Structure 1
Amino acid sequence: MTPAADINIRRYPWIQFSTNLFGWFPVFFLYFNSMVPLSSAIFLGSIYYLCVTLAEVPSGYFSDRYGRRITMLVAAAFFVAANIGYIAATDFSGLVLGQVLLALGMAFLSGTDTAFLYDSLLSLDREGQYAEQEARGQQFGMTGLALASLAGGALGLADLRLPYGLALFGALWAFWLTWGCVEPRVHRQDGAGTGSFLHSIRDCLRLLSDRTLAWLFGVMVFMYSLGHVAYEFYQPYLRLLGLGWFAGDTTTLVSGVVVGVSMFGGALGAALSVRLHQRLGIRALLYIAFAMQLVIIGGLAFLLAQWVLILVILRNFPWGLIYAPVNAQIAPRVGSHLRATYLSLQSLMGRLVFSGLLLFLSSTVDNQALSWSSLSLVLREAFAFAAVGFVVAVVLAPRKNMTS
């Protein structure tokens, strides 16, 4: 028993809330474009994704080797530095620095936060509460991002740097909350610090010989990709609707509302996830989430109508619905000394698959101007990708060895 670890459980939802106060989320592209041309603003996005990809798995190994608390403190420190860098930036090089620091913060947090929660509960013999506690953390995190997006959109009307000030406050708060936590004792006792980086990768891949674990790995990688399709294409879809919402000086406010409401949808999914998991089981829950993504992408692909925006708002609901229940299936099957590395590897594969999907979709329209025919073509191809994935997931789903 480790009573001191109880503080970790109490603080975890607020760590998620404060970390996700990304007020810049609905305005970052506008901020970049205010300093650099469009091509450079797009290139900054590629720098971020490249850095996250390179640091994703090594940061998970760092967590497994040196501890959850220190890794989360490093992540928070990177977030603090990133937001200071963004606020101080005056040119392309300053924005590059911010992107690199943000990517490192994201990479160091990825996988470690959920491993921190599970290890803390395990040290208290309360691991049976993991799904409920993780769902609560997700609910707090998405609510934080929703509120920050609404606030950031409004602050951006006055100055595009102000949303980064909100994010800086959140990062400092997260650092303070994490500083007051303790390292879960179970992590220190479960082989932590043993094995090289390559050995850890090998051991994680060997875990996929468990058919259930392999299936969940594949489904989560696929769902990550599908969840980003609506986000990637909702702005050009809005432009084609011709509503004029992004005209004049209201751009940041409208963008903040769209992002914020969608995050509230994710928080609702997280709030319902444990109850629905207990009632329906993990397979049915995943099938429902898959079907929702098909409806969302299909609506965007085949219909140009205002009511389809309701589907865009719901884009985070499926992910919120499955995140905690799926991690509750994964965590007991992966040892503490590999857990963050494994989850980081899963996250990395999701990013790579989505990047590959975008590369394929971009190749099918070449340099065509934005039109309903070109956007619909891209989205119909994404819908086909989702439909094939759903069929494969159903066919390959294990019939046994699921806790529920």
Structure 2
Amino acid sequence: MKRQGVSARFEGKIRAYYVYYVASQTAFDRGIFVLFLMSNQFSGEQIGLLQAALFWATVASEVPTGIIGDKYGRKRSVAIGLGLFICYCAGVILLSGFWPFLLLYCVYGIAKSFISGSDRALLFDYLKAHGREDAFLRIDSRSKALGALALTIAIAVGGYLQRASWSWVYVAYGLAFVVSLLAWSRIQEILPERGDDLAHGARTGILQQAGVFFFQPHGRRLTWLIAALALVVGAITPYYIFSQAIFQGYGLEPHQIGSIIATAELLSAAAYLLAERISRRLSLERAFYLGAMMTAGLLVLNRAGDLRLTAVIFLAVAALGPLLEVLIGNHLIGQVPSSIRATAMSIVSFAESTVTSLGYLGYGYALARLDLHGFVAASALLPCLAMGCASVYFKRVRGAFT
């Protein structure tokens, strides 16, 4: 009976994590936020500055917030992030003007970084504390799949809410974060393991521990895999965002483009669900090489200039990206010590964001001055470089055990 009670509590915490994650992904404004800004008389340059402010606020705060999560608790870090998201939604409803919105977008970026890495680190530590860390990939991929489905529905619902009022869009968004915060409050905090993570780990700061780890042979090897993941994400994410401009160039209407993107989200959900099955059938090395090669080939095919082929390519790349990210992320999170796990995941996010930012700059320049299809094809170089970085990692891992 006691064992059943423990099992019921364990399953209850996992369900709470699912509710937290799904609610946090219901971005009702995702498909229409640019239209909202335009309705508030923001110019194209101002909208670009707001997006840049959000992005750089996220990048600048990634590592510091990861350190906060490791030092003061991952549960507290995520709760702060969710609270900031709620403040953002309230601010969007109550405030107006460029400078207040610039501040709000910085708040949004910082909120993202408080959550980034800490939620998954706490989930992994909770599973490990119960001897169930092997279930991390299944739970993580399932939560991401449910989150992608929730986002697809939220995009559609947001359009209908906007017909009533823009405020209703952000009221719904804020309430979703309230639900997420309530679910997160049920998650049990797990203190990072200090005993055997790093020498003298308990007596040194988080940043120093991270530095010691990444200068050790195992940590140095991992940097190659982090670089490989960052290169793949840096190729796929800007392509995903700027695909709107590509489809617009074919003469598609906004609702048609939205339908393609919604389909891509559904395929992302399917990819997340397939991740665990693929991990059983293929080694991480083979899965990464296969995924990176397919991504590179698909990006090159964009030069064909056919609408139907471009749509198929976009949907395939949209599915490959989440699959590779969750497989590599699952491997990375188990390779770093518990005491710096949130910091390490923030470093991964920082690397991804840095490469992605360069991709955004490249796509923006290509959109204004170059052939966008040609630039997409040229971006296939990034997955090729990723395979090179991954080969160094896997070769050194094999060398360490021979």
TM-score bracket for this pair, using the shorter chain length: 0.7 to 0.9
1:384 equivalent to 2:390? Answer no
Q: After TM superposition, give the deviation of residue 14 of structure 1 in Å.
A: 1.7
Q: After TM superposition, give the deviation of residue 401 of structure 1 in Å.
A: 7.8
> Hey, what's the Cα distance between the residues in 2 that align with 1:299 and 1:52?
33
1:227 equivalent to 2:236? Answer yes
The answer to which of 55-64 and 291-300 deviates more is: 291-300
5 Å matches for 1:252-291?
253-254=255-256, 256-291=258-293
| CA shift in 2, pair 1:193/1:6, >3 Å | farther
Q: After TM superposition, give the deviation of residue 308 of structure 1 in Å.
A: 1.6
Secondary structure of the structure 1 residue equivalent to 2:379: helix
Q: Which amino acid aligns with 1:271?
A: L
Q: After TM superposition, give the deviation of residue 400 of structure 1 in Å.
A: 2.4
The equivalent of 1:128 in structure 2 is 134
| CA shift in 2, pair 1:195/1:186, >3 Å | closer
- Root mean square deviation, CA, Å: 2.8
Kept in 2, the 8 Å contact 1:131–1:327? The answer is: no
Kept in 1, the 8 Å contact 2:222–2:393? The answer is: no
5 Å matches for 1:70-109?
70-109=76-115
The equivalent of 2:25 in structure 1 is 20
| CA shift in 2, pair 1:331/1:387, >3 Å | closer
Match of 2:358 among 327, 347, 356: 356
1:172 equivalent to 2:169? Answer no
Match of 1:154 among 153, 160, 164: 160
> Hey, what's the Cα distance between the residues in 1 that align with 2:217 and 2:226?
8
Q: Which amino acid aligns with 1:308?
A: T
1:38 equivalent to 2:36? Answer no
> Hey, what's the Cα distance between the residues in 1 that align with 2:137 and 2:186?
23
Match of 2:70 among 60, 64, 68: 64
Q: After TM superposition, give the deviation of residue 318 of structure 1 in Å.
A: 1.6
C-alpha offsets along residues 340-376 of structure 1, whole Å, 9 cap, x if unaligned?
Answer: 100100110111112123334555x5953xxxx6212
Q: Which amino acid aligns with 1:380?
A: A
The equivalent of 1:48 in structure 2 is 54
Q: After TM superposition, give the deviation of residue 300 of structure 1 in Å.
A: 2.8
> Hey, what's the Cα distance between the residues in 1 that align with 2:300 and 2:357?
20
Secondary structure of the structure 1 residue equivalent to 2:334: helix
> Hey, what's the Cα distance between the residues in 2 that align with 1:384 and 1:396?
19
> Hey, what's the Cα distance between the residues in 2 that align with 1:78 and 1:341?
20
TM-score by structure 2 length? 0.88
TM-score by structure 1 length? 0.87
> Hey, what's the Cα distance between the residues in 2 that align with 1:158 and 1:314?
35
What runs of 5+ residues in structure 2 fail to find an aligned partner? Answer: none
5 Å matches for 1:273-352?
273-352=275-354
| CA shift in 2, pair 1:164/1:297, >3 Å | farther
Match of 2:250 among 213, 234, 241: 241
Secondary structure of the structure 2 residue equivalent to 1:25: coil
Match of 1:9 among 3, 14, 19: 14
The answer to which of 340-349 and 8-17 deviates more is: 8-17
The answer to which of 5-14 and 163-172 deviates more is: 5-14
C-alpha offsets along residues 207-259 of structure 1, whole Å, 9 cap, x if unaligned?
Answer: 5644652332122211221221322321111121013x13xxxxxx5554333
> Hey, what's the Cα distance between the residues in 2 that align with 1:121 and 1:6?
11
The equivalent of 1:249 in structure 2 is none
| CA shift in 2, pair 1:196/1:275, >3 Å | same
Q: Which amino acid aligns with 2:47?
A: A
Q: Which amino acid aligns with 1:177?
A: A
Q: After TM superposition, give the deviation of residue 181 of structure 1 in Å.
A: 1.8
Kept in 1, the 8 Å contact 2:238–2:359? The answer is: no
Q: Which amino acid aligns with 1:140?
A: L
Kept in 2, the 8 Å contact 1:119–1:186? The answer is: yes
C-alpha offsets along residues 268-308 of structure 1, whole Å, 9 cap, x if unaligned?
Answer: 00100111110111112112321332244223344242342
Q: Which amino acid aligns with 1:11?
A: A
Kept in 2, the 8 Å contact 1:122–1:186? The answer is: no
Q: After TM superposition, give the deviation of residue 117 of structure 1 in Å.
A: 0.8
> Hey, what's the Cα distance between the residues in 2 that align with 1:7 and 1:186?
22
| CA shift in 2, pair 1:86/1:130, >3 Å | same
Kept in 2, the 8 Å contact 1:31–1:160? The answer is: yes
Kept in 2, the 8 Å contact 1:23–1:148? The answer is: yes
Kept in 2, the 8 Å contact 1:230–1:296? The answer is: no
| CA shift in 2, pair 1:309/1:16, >3 Å | same
The answer to which of 88-97 and 4-13 deviates more is: 4-13
The equivalent of 1:250 in structure 2 is none
Q: After TM superposition, give the deviation of residue 402 of structure 1 in Å.
A: 10
Q: Which amino acid aligns with 1:382?
A: S
> Hey, what's the Cα distance between the residues in 2 that align with 1:107 and 1:260?
25
Kept in 2, the 8 Å contact 1:111–1:340? The answer is: yes
Kept in 1, the 8 Å contact 2:227–2:389? The answer is: no
| CA shift in 2, pair 1:189/1:208, >3 Å | closer
> Hey, what's the Cα distance between the residues in 2 that align with 1:387 and 1:158?
48
